[in-house]
Amino acid sequence: MKVCPVGVGVGFTPDPSVIARAFDLGVNYFDTANDYSNGNSERLLAVGLKGIPRDKVVVVSKTPAKTRGVFMTDLEDSLKNLETDRIDIWLLHAKSKPEDVPDELLEAGDAAKKQGKIRFFGVSTHDLDLMADRFVKAGNIDAVTFTYNFTMGTGREAAIAKLSQAGIGLTAMKVMAANGGVLPDFSAMTAGRGPGRGARGGGLPPRPAAIKNPLPALKWVVRNPMVATTIPGVRDVEMLEMNLKALTEKFTDDDEKLLSARSEEIRPYYCRMCYSCRGQCPKGMPVPDQLRILAYADFYGDFPLAQRSFAALPKEVRALRCGDCSECSVHCPNGVKVPDRLIRAQELLA
């Protein structure tokens, strides 16, 4: 399978004509999921691909299934939504612990392949370091989609190399790291209290930042030869055309300086998903999960996605209130203001 190093993340795309334009411009990799907007993202992709020879594009979708039964039902639904008889890459969606990828689901992947309903099978994850060994040992994982952007520096390189050497195809997601590293406008929410903390009882999401030159962030990822492709979210043709410049423009020293400055600017607000704070909260708060969900609202401008993702957290997690703690025992070595950000997540989404 040969893929364009810049693909399209369809999850936020509102207009199917963007898909057709992307194909015209040479993009052949389109990523969606069964659980994006209750299947509407898959349906939009199907509309956008109409008239394009099916074998000229790689269609990727995902299931959050925890059992073989749901895996198979979701697959049938996705085939229907996508108006196709085969999905090119079918991923288990957002698996963050090795036990979330049980043999039952691996066997379901093999069965779906034998039935000809998928070509390749894999997993998406936010925690590549923790999952890499499980993926290699599984033996039947062809492709992995993982969070990767400039804020992570060289932190993911060992895991990337391990998977690449095992012949697993790698797709990078969340490549723009919070709008290309540009802070959103928190002013609508913060009422003068500073962007780390939401106004109690306020409840307004921030205005997403205008994306200012996201190219350096994308070029940073594309230059890694072990990463086959990327799936930046694309809202319109202008954004698409900007992204595609990453195929021809070199990553420069000026890009490096810009990203370094942006990395510092977003440091208190943006969780780099290093997972080193895992298990530190005595009340069992899954800190990186809740911060990632807040990022959907704050940085990606998708408040409904943040609400849905928050609502899917376990009840006992949704009930936690960081404002009730006199002190937070979670230490973030990357400088995220953890309690402030969590209070904001709870005020905005709980």
Residues near ligand SF4, by CB under 6 A: 271-277, 281, 283, 285, 287-288, 291, 320, 322, 325, 328-330, 332-334, 336, 338-339, 342
Other Cβ atoms closer than 10 A to 104: 13
Min dist CB 291 to ligand SF4, Å, is 6
Nearest to 290 by CA among 317, 327, 324, 323: 317
Between 173 and 234, CB nearer to ligand SF4: 173
CB of 333 to ligand SF4, least distance (A): 6
From the CB of 270, what's the least distance to ligand SF4, in Å? Answer: 8
Calpha distance 235→70 (Å, rounded): 30
Q: What ranges in 25-122 are assigned the alpha helix state H?
A: 40-48, 68-82, 103-114
| Residues 6 or more apart whose Cβ sits within 8 Å of residue 154 | none
Query: 211 CB contacts (<8 Å, ≥6 apart)?
Result: 176, 179, 180, 182, 239
Written as one letter, the residue type at 149 is N
Distance (Å, rounded) from C-alpha 127 to C-alpha 187? 32
Pairing of strands 169-173, 229-230: parallel
Which H or E element spans position 146? strand 143-147
Work out how close the CB of 306 gets to ligand SF4 at its nearest, in angstroms, rounded to a whole number: 17
Nearer to ligand SF4, 160 or 277 (CB): 277
Q: Cβ closer to ligand SF4: 126 or 219?
A: 126
Minimum Å distance from CB 145 to ligand SF4?
A: 19
Nearer to ligand SF4, 60 or 176 (CB): 176
Residue closer to ligand SF4 (CB basis): 255 or 340: 340
Nearest to ligand SF4 of 245, 283 (CB atom): 283
Tell the smallest beta-carbon distance from residue 278 to ligand SF4 (Å): 7
